[in-house]
Structure 1
Amino acid sequence: MAAQPTPIRSLSAPPPLPQLSADVTTALRWALTVPLLGILGIGVLYAIGAGLKAGQLRDSGLSPADVLPVVPFAQLVAVGVDAALAALTMVPLVLLGAWLLRLMLHESGRRRTVDDVVERLIADHAQLRHELQRGPSADAAEHYERRLRRLDRRAERARVSVARRRWIAVGATAAGAVVLAFVATPATLVAAGASVWLVSRYRWHTAFAVSVVFAALLLAVLVERSLSLPPIPAASVRTMQGQLIEGRLIAATPRAWYVDVGAGRVRGVPTVRIARSSVRPQEQGRPRPLGSRLLDLLP
C-alpha cells in the first residue's frame, strides 16, 4: 500500500499559541495590575499636589506655568499624599458612624417586628390553649394562671432587653456623631454625613463603600484646601559673596534654592554658593476642625 502524502501547512496560517495555565495567567494579571495601579496612584497624587501648588502660586501673583516646573516632583507628590491622608484618617470614623446608624435603625425597628422570643411566646400560648381544649381538669385554671405568669415574665424580659439594646445603639450613635463633629472640618463633616447616610441606606460591597467614602472625603478636603491655601513662606539667603537675597521661597532642592524676589521674577541660587539661609514660615491657612473652634470660645 502506497504511503499517503503528508499535508503541507500553509505558510500564511499563524502558528498555534501556547496555552497558559490558570495560575500563570493570574500571576501575570497581578504582575501587570499592581505596578499599573501604583503608577496611576502616584499620578493622581502628583496631580492633586500640582493643582494645590498652582493655586498657591496664582494667589501669590506668579504664573504657575513658569514657576511650577522648578518645584520638585517629590514635593508635589508629598502635598497630594498629605491631602489623601487627611481624608483617609476620617474613613474609619465614617464607617463606624454608618454601622452605628444602621444598628440604631435596626434596634428601633425591632418593636415593629416579631423576633424569635415573641414567636416562642405565641407558640406557648397556642400549645396551652390546645391542652386546655383537649383535656380540661379541676385545676386547669390554676395551671393556666401559672403558665400565663411565666409567659408574661418572659415577655417582660424580652421587652426590657430590646429596649436596652435600642438605647445602647442610640447612645453609641450619638457619641460617634459628637466625636465626628469634634474632629471634622465643616466641609468634611458634610461629606461624612452624606457618606454615613448612603452607606447605611444601601448595602454596598465593603470595598465599594470604602471607595465612595474616601472619594467624598478627599473631594471635601481638596475643596477646603483650595479655598484656604497657605501663603508661601518668606526666606532670606546670603551668598558666599555677601549678597543678601530676600523673598518668598518657591522651592528648595539639593541643587538650588528658588526665591521669588518680586515683580513676578524667581531667582535661583545654587546651593554651593549659599553661606547662610533662613526660612520664616507663615501661619497655616488650613481649615480648623470644629472641636478646636469650640475650644477657642471657652474662657
Structure 2
Amino acid sequence: MDHASSKAQSTYLIPTNCNVGHVLCSPCLNKLKNPTKCHVCGASGGFHRCHAMERLVESIHIPCPNSTFGCTARPAYHKHQRHQQACIMRSRFRCPGEACTFVGSMDALLDHFTGVHRWPCTTKVRESRSESCKLSLRSGFNFLRTNVPGATATTRTQVQFLLNSAPHPFGRAISVLCIQSQPHAAMGPGQGPSLSLTMEPKCALRYYSFENRHHCKDERLTEYNQSSKFRVACTDFSNGLPNADDYFQFVVPASVLGDSHKDNINIQFGFRIRS
C-alpha cells in the first residue's frame, strides 16, 4: 500500500492483507472486481484487517502546507484536510498600501502595518457580543483586532477590521472593512485553501460630544450624538483596496469637529457576526 499515491488521503484508511501478506488499503479494496481473491498472487480467502500496518499508518503525520507561513502543526493524514480548513495561517493577505507588494499571513500583515507603515493597530478583548470598543482614530488607516465571544469551532475567534478616516467635503468620513480570506479558484504551491467562513458582520459606529468639550467649531452646540448601524464588506485586499464609494461611509460634520480633532476622532465601535 503506497500511502503517498493513495487518492483517499482525507479519509481514514483501513489497511488489509491477503493470506499471503499482500497489503491493500480499504478504498482500493472496494475497487477490486473480486475482493475475495488477491489481485497480486491470486490467493483466495479475501482480505483481512491488518492491525500492525494500521498502527503504522496512524503514525503518519503530514506538515501543514502553510508551514512556510509559520504553522507548526503536523496533523494525522486523515485529519489533514480538516486542519487546512481551520488553519489560522491558511490565508495570505495583501497590504492595502499604495504600491506596497507585501503578502503574508494575518499576524505578519499586522506586524507589517505597524513596523513598516506605522499604521496604528489596536487590540481589544470583548467579554460579550454586545460590548463596544472605544477607539481614537488617526487620519488614514486604523486597524482593530478583536475577538468573538462565544465563538465555536466553526466560527472565527479573532476578527480584524480596517477603519479608514479620510477627509470628506462635509467633514470626515469613516469607513469600515472586515479583513477576511476570500474563496479562490486555485491554490499556488504550498498554499493552503483560502476558504471564507460564512460571515455577515454588522457594525455600529457612534460619535458623541457634550458641552462643547471637544471645542466644536459651532460654540452654540451643547451636545451632539451621531450613530449608525450597517453591514460591512469583507476583503483580503487581493484586488487592492475596494472603492470607498462601494460601501457605507460614516460622515462626521465639520461643524462638530474642532481644530484639535480634525485629524483624531474618538468613536465607539461595536459589531456582531452571524455565522
Q: Select the structure with the greater relative contact order (CA < 8 A; seq sep ≥ 6).
A: 1
TM-score normalised according to structure 1 size = 0.25
Rg larger for: 1
Higher strand proportion, which one?
A: 2
Higher helix proportion, which one?
A: 1
